[in-house]
Amino acid sequence: MANRPRIVLIGNSGSWHVNELLQRCDRRAVGQVVSWPELAALISDGKERFLPEAVELADCLLIRGMPAGTLEQVISRMDMLGRLAAQGRRILNQPAALEIAIDKYLATARLAAAGLPVVPSALVQSAADLDRVRGELGDSLIAKPLFGSNGRGLCQLAKTGDPPEPLRGQGAILVQQQIPHEGWDVRILVVGDRTYAMKRLAPAGDWRTNIALGGQPAPFAAPADWIDLARKAAAAVGAELAGVDLLPATDGSLWLLEVNAVPGWQALQRVVPDDLAAAVLELALGAEGNLTNVAEKTGPTAP
């Protein structure tokens, strides 16, 4: 038992996903939870180590949340992940993938550069920018915060009038052409070589399909070309674990909405028979068996 690999879940103790992963660890791995505020680095005598000790001893870090914070907190946390990755630690997902996916403008640009069908979009910082965007994209537009998830801040833009609240409050937003659709989209969870899909149905009278905003999951057998697109999208941002959102338009076209590099699967688990937490844990452990042998490390073994 002492040779079990150590996995640290960076996230909130008690969250549904963290609890599911800890339960799957069982006899396969030593699982511990470290919150973002607990993560720290110590540089002394020319050496760098990480705190709490569970992080220093970890074979793998599994990221389960990217909370808001000050600019200094956000940057320093990503810096520490980068330093851990430079030491050869396995991190799911890698810091570079997290940085790309969390920034909707950067992710959209990377996906477009990979030749994938992203929704026509623009980075907007002012009312003048917004006026220029309307000339390029038309008047049927939606606004998204550059950093955010679960549909928070997602809104339709009025054709005229004052700048929208997201722009006034955040100073920069992503504006996208609103694609006519039938009230549903598809989430494909990419877990290494495996994929799992669900349809997300918008609430009655709403155009948003986000589960957090009342959308409902339904079983869905994704066509092979949709799965291929999801795989390409995950690869374009460098994510081994990704939630890829696809939107079929009323005209038959298919659009790539976004890629989430810290995806949830609670709703998806309701409509697929596979054990998704177990699949994620297997990916974290590494199918190739390349985790460092913990017997070469020192320090107490977690219970």
The residues spanned by each domain of the chain are 6-93+283-296, 100-117+180-261, 121-177
CA–CA gap between residue 79 and residue 268 (Å, rounded): 32
- Could you tell me how many residues make up the chain? 303
* Residues whose CB falls within 8 Å of the CB of residue 44, separated by 6 or more in sequence, listed in order: none
Determine the straight-line distance between the first and last CA of the chain, rounded to whole angstroms: 10
Is there a shared CATH topology between the 100-117+180-261 domain and the 121-177 domain?
A: no
- Write out pLDDT tens, residues 252-294: 999 999 999 999 999 999 999 999 999 999 999 984 333 333 2
Residue 20: how many other CB atoms lie within 10 Å: 19
Cβ proximity of 185 and 245 under 8 Å: yes
289 phi-psi bin (left φ>0, alpha ψ -120 to 50, beta other) = left
Task: Give Cα separations from 133 to 2, 120, 163, 175, 217 (angstroms).
Answer: 59, 10, 13, 8, 33
Helical pair 276-285 and 16-25, crossing angle rounded to 10 deg: 60
DSSP string, 189-219: EEETTEEEEEEEEPPTT-S---GGGT-EEEE
CATH 2.60.40 fits domain 6-93+283-296 = no
Q: Helix, strand, or coil here: 138?
A: coil
pLDDT string in tens for the chain (303-residue length): 458 899 999 999 889 999 999 999 987 899 999 999 999 999 999 999 999 999 999 999 999 988 878 889 999 999 999 999 999 999 999 999 999 999 999 999 999 999 999 999 999 888 888 888 888 888 888 888 888 666 666 777 766 655 565 565 567 889 999 999 999 999 999 999 999 999 999 888 887 887 887 889 999 999 999 999 999 999 999 999 999 999 999 999 999 999 999 999 999 999 999 999 999 999 999 843 333 332 233 233 232
Give the predicted TM-score (pTM) of the model. 0.88
CATH 3.40.1000 fits domain 121-177 = no
Which tokens is 37 given? Answer: 């505020």
CA–CA gap between residue 75 and residue 77 (Å, rounded): 5
CA–CA gap between residue 105 and residue 101 (Å, rounded): 9
Cβ proximity of 259 and 149 under 8 Å: no
* Residues whose CB falls within 8 Å of the CB of residue 38, separated by 6 or more in sequence, listed in order: 51, 52
- Write out pLDDT tens, residues 4-39: 899 999 999 889 999 999 999 987 899 999 999 999
- Omega of the bond leading into 52 within 30 degrees of 0 (cis): yes
Cβ proximity of 246 and 186 under 8 Å: yes
Alpha-carbon dihedral sign for residues 181, 186, 187, 193: negative
Pick the CATH number of 100-117+180-261 from 3.40.718.10, 2.40.30.10, 1.20.910.10, 3.30.470.20: 3.30.470.20
